[in-house]
Amino acid sequence: MSESLCTSSGKSGLPPGSLIHVGEVLEPVGSISIVDYSKGKFEEKKLQSIDEIIQYKDSDTVTWVIIEGLTNVEIVERIGAIFGIHQLVLEDILNTNQRPKFEEYDDHLYIVLKCLLPGGENFTVNNEQISLLVLKNFLIMFKEKKDEVFHPIRQRIKTSSGKFVSLGSDYLAYAILDFIIDQNFILLDLLDESITSLEDSLFEGEPTQDMLYKIQRLKREMISIRRYVSPVRELLAEMIRSESDLIHENTHIFLKDVSDHSIRVVESIESYRDILTGLLDIYVSSVSNKMNQIMKVLTVFTSIFIPLTFIAGIYGMNFEYMPELKWKWAYPLTWAVFIIIPLVLLAFFKRKKWL
């Protein structure tokens, strides 16, 4: 079965291992390329057919196959047939809603995680699922779209004359994982700039609805980053504990270093999440304080006009015998009282530091 689908619910009722693309179509037309290398040799080219990789299958070189675009299910199905990949692994490769994980089989390893990249001027995060099949002297990468994200790794292979080209596919897998996780530090730097700018705006000016929108948007992005990054620690821990012959002993120390990086990323995310929660509390407090200031001013004005209203109410009554109504200076005297009372109340409020 080979189809393309958008949501996981569409697979309901299908047998396990059904090969259906699930997720957003980021690359309608896929491509296949390889990087084949060893000490003193480097070859990079595009392939017209997936069957062309068979000639590299039994070579002593390390072959990195890059498949960009997952809508062509037949390519994934053919790779499964050539290398004997488990059908459930092929199903997971085509489902782009996977949680980062590591699975170990007799003759191959399966790794899946998200590559997170900055999206635009405002802090947004784009994610792309990366699936890796690690075999002896072979690494097959499945990407959702065409881009040059991993160009630095190809350049390292091309220019290296030492460790990189002397080690196997497990070291290449480590290099890819290290690169993906290091991209998170770029995101964290951009996130730090956004939070610092927002913090300055909140402390220096009055709270606005736009500030609340920015805080909520950053919190949503943080939740997304945390969901994709947190499981990577578990993934790397399982790789370090693995006794598979496909992961050499020398590679474990490099994987531990990547694991340390992932822990740093997660800890940074947690700290930024706490900062955003604090900013939201400050925003709410600022809005409440602003409302209290407004209510205080209104209360003061109300307090000033209450006695004036009382006096006006008394002399607005239509009693016949009110001696003050016959006084010559009654009107100017009333105005004097109207002026003196607010001045006395204002002085009293200031003395009490209510204003």
CA–CA separation, 326 vs 117, rounded Å?
Answer: 86
pLDDT per residue over 4-52, tens digit each? Answer: 555 655 565 566 667 787 777 777 777 899 999 888 888 899 998 888 8
pLDDT at 3 over 60: no
pLDDT band at 207 (very low <50, low <70, confident <90, very high): confident
For the chain, give percent helix, strand, coil, nearest 5: 55, 15, 25
pLDDT per residue over 99-124, tens digit each? Answer: 999 999 988 999 999 999 887 777 88
Which stretches of 160-248 are DSSP H helices?
163-166, 169-204, 209-241
The CATH number of 294-351 is which of 1.20.58.340, 3.90.45.10, 1.20.210.10, 3.40.50.2300?
Answer: 1.20.58.340
Instruction: Look at residue 13 and give its three-state secondary structure.
Output: coil
Amino acid 10: pLDDT: 54
Amino acid 232: pLDDT: 92
CA–CA separation, 21 vs 97, rounded Å?
Answer: 10
pLDDT per residue over 240-291, tens digit each? Answer: 998 888 999 889 999 999 999 999 999 999 998 899 888 888 888 888 888 8
Measure CA of the first residue to CA of the last residue in the chain; give whole Å: 77
User: Tokens 């006794």 — which residue?
Assistant: 243
Amino acid 203: pLDDT: 81
pLDDT at 1 over 50: no
Return mean pLDDT, the chain.
Answer: 85
pLDDT at 2 over 60: no
Structure tokens at 238: 């399982």
Query: Cα–Cα distances in Å, from 71 out to 22, 121, 260?
Result: 9, 30, 35
The dihedral built from the CA positions of residue 98, 101, 105 and 110, taken in this order, carries a sign that is positive
| Ranges 30-39, 213-222, 234-243, 324-333: which has the least confidence | 324-333
Residues 6 or more apart whose Cβ sits within 8 Å of residue 107: 84, 135, 136, 246
Nearest C-alpha neighbor of 65 from the set 143, 170, 149, 163 = 143
Evaluate whether 262 touches 232 at the Cβ level (below 8 Å): yes
Q: pTM (2 decimals)?
A: 0.80
Strand runs labelled E in the chain: 2-5, 19-22, 31-38, 41-47, 62-68, 101-104, 109-118, 125-135, 138-143
Amino acid 5: pLDDT: 54
pLDDT per residue over 53-109, tens digit each? Answer: 898 888 888 999 999 988 888 899 999 999 999 888 999 999 888 899 999 998 899
Identical fold between 2-285 and 294-351:
no
Name the β-bridge partners of 66.
Answer: 33, 141
Residue ranges covered by each domain of the chain: 2-285, 294-351
Overall CATH class of domain 2-285: alpha beta
Amino acid 254: pLDDT: 92
The pLDDT of 336-344, averaged and rounded, is 87
pLDDT per residue over 165-178, tens digit each? Answer: 788 899 999 999 99
pLDDT at 294 over 70: yes
Contacts of range 163-167, beta carbons closer than 8 Å, 24 or more positions apart: 165/37, 165/38, 165/39, 165/40, 165/42, 165/62, 166/39, 167/248, 167/250, 167/251
Instruction: Look at residue 32 and give its three-state secondary structure.
Output: strand
Name the β-bridge partners of 16.
Answer: none
Evaluate whether 90 touches 80 at the Cβ level (below 8 Å): yes
pLDDT band at 299 (very low <50, low <70, confident <90, very high): confident
